């Protein structure tokens, strides 16, 4: 099975936007949050319990960090959706 390209439907509901933790140590958030947001897409190989520095460079550009508005725009573009899927804020985790 091949993963869909960015901007193409098929990533499922595994991708999400969250507040960027200051750092992640042993899978736990430490030091609060940066105030910025990041896009996590497990379908592309990202893992939410890895720190930004631990993910491959090819995923860093996707993850961010970004403002909330920019992160949600990238989320919808990445999934290939128009943002009218019926969720009010279902993509936002924090």
Q: Rounded mean pLDDT of 10-18?
A: 80
Average pLDDT across the chain, whole number: 79
Q: What is the pLDDT of residue 36?
A: 93
DSSP one-letter code for 12: T
Give CA–CA dist 52/46, Å, rounded: 10
Decide if pLDDT at 86 tops 50. no
CB atoms under 10 Å from CB of 63, counted, come to: 22
């Amino acid at each position: 099975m091949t993963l869909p390209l960015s901007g193409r439907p098929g990533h499922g509901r595994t991708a999400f936007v969250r507040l960027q933790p200051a750092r992640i140590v042993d899978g736990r958030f430490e030091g609060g949050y940066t105030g910025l947001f990041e896009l996590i897409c497990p379908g592309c190989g990202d893992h939410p319990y890895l720190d930004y520095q631990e993910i491959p460079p090819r995923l860093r550009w996707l993850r961010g960090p970004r403002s909330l508005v920019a992160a949600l725009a990238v989320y919808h573009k990445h999934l290939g959706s128009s943002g009218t899927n019926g969720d009010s804020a279902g993509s936002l985790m924090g």
